[in-house]
């Protein structure tokens, strides 16, 4: 299982840093939605789901957090996000859990689709069935 982490270009000068993201240039899909989470309570684990179609890029624009990715085929990887110029690509059919949020963490997500609860697989056994049946 390959982890795809983007290193975005930083436009830095004596005033500070700036990162600009354009769909199809920096982000490999049309960005249909942006959302972000912050003030995450200590010890909280978010996610616990996969998406049937949605692709995303996760950017921890402030603070840090960890992401567990699980492809449902026996491979799991943990990724530490702490740089505002790094983006983790999360494909469809990938179970994700986000945890160890620092108190100041702001996790931003660029998504390829608008919000659609039908696209979520929120039960782990259903996820295993879905990904393993799909590849048969
Ligand atoms: C994902 C991970 C990384 C909306 O109304 N619109 C939205 O666009 C989103 C993302 C959420 N919501 C509502 C639905 C729930 O009542 O906000 C509430 C929290 O959503 P959820 O429990 O799905 O949050 P997470 O942190 O578990 O998951 C989110 C995304 O939903 C998901 O697509 O991949 O972040």
Pocket of ligand 1 (CB under 6 A): 33, 35, 37, 46-47, 56, 96, 98, 109, 115
Distance from the CA of 14 to the center of ligand 1, in angstroms?
37
For residues 48-72, give the mean pLDDT. Answer: 98
Alpha carbon nearest to ligand 1 atom 20, residue = 47
Q: Whose CA is nearest to atom 24 of ligand 1?
A: 47
The tokens describing 22, both together, are 């354009």
Check residue 78 and give its pLDDT.
98
Q: Is 62 among the catalytic positions? A: no
Q: What is the mean pLDDT of residues 84-93?
A: 98
Residue 37 CA, ligand 1 centroid: distance in Å: 9
Q: Would you say residue 135 has pLDDT above 90?
A: no
* CA dist 38 → 42, 55, 60, 74, 105 (Å): 11, 21, 10, 31, 6
Determine the residue of 51, 109, 119 to mutate for testing ligand 1's pocket, defined as the one with the most ligand atoms within 8 A of the Cβ atom.
Answer: 109
Distance between Cα 136 and ligand 1 center (Å):
30
Atom of ligand 1 nearest to the CA of 47: 27
Q: Give the model confidence (pLDDT) of 13-51 as tens digits.
A: 999 999 999 999 999 999 999 999 999 999 999 999 999
The CATH fold assigned to 4-10+17-134 is Jelly Rolls (2.60.120)
């Amino acid at each position: 299982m390959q982890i795809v982490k983007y290193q975005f270009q930083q436009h830095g000068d004596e005033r500070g840093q700036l990162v600009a993201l354009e769909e199809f240039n920096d982000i490999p899909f049309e960005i249909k939605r942006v959302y972000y989470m912050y003030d995450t309570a200590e010890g909280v684990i978010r996610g616990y789901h996969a998406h049937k179609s949605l692709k995303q890029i996760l950017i921890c624009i402030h603070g840090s957090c960890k992401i567990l990715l699980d492809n449902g085929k026996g491979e799991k990887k943990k990724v530490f996000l702490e740089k505002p110029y790094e983006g983790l690509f999360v494909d469809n059919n990938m179970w994700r859990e986000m945890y160890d949020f620092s108190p100041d963490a702001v996790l931003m997500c660029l998504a390829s689709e608008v919000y659609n609860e039908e696209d979520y697989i929120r039960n782990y056994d259903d996820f295993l069935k879905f990904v393993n049946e799909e590849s048969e």
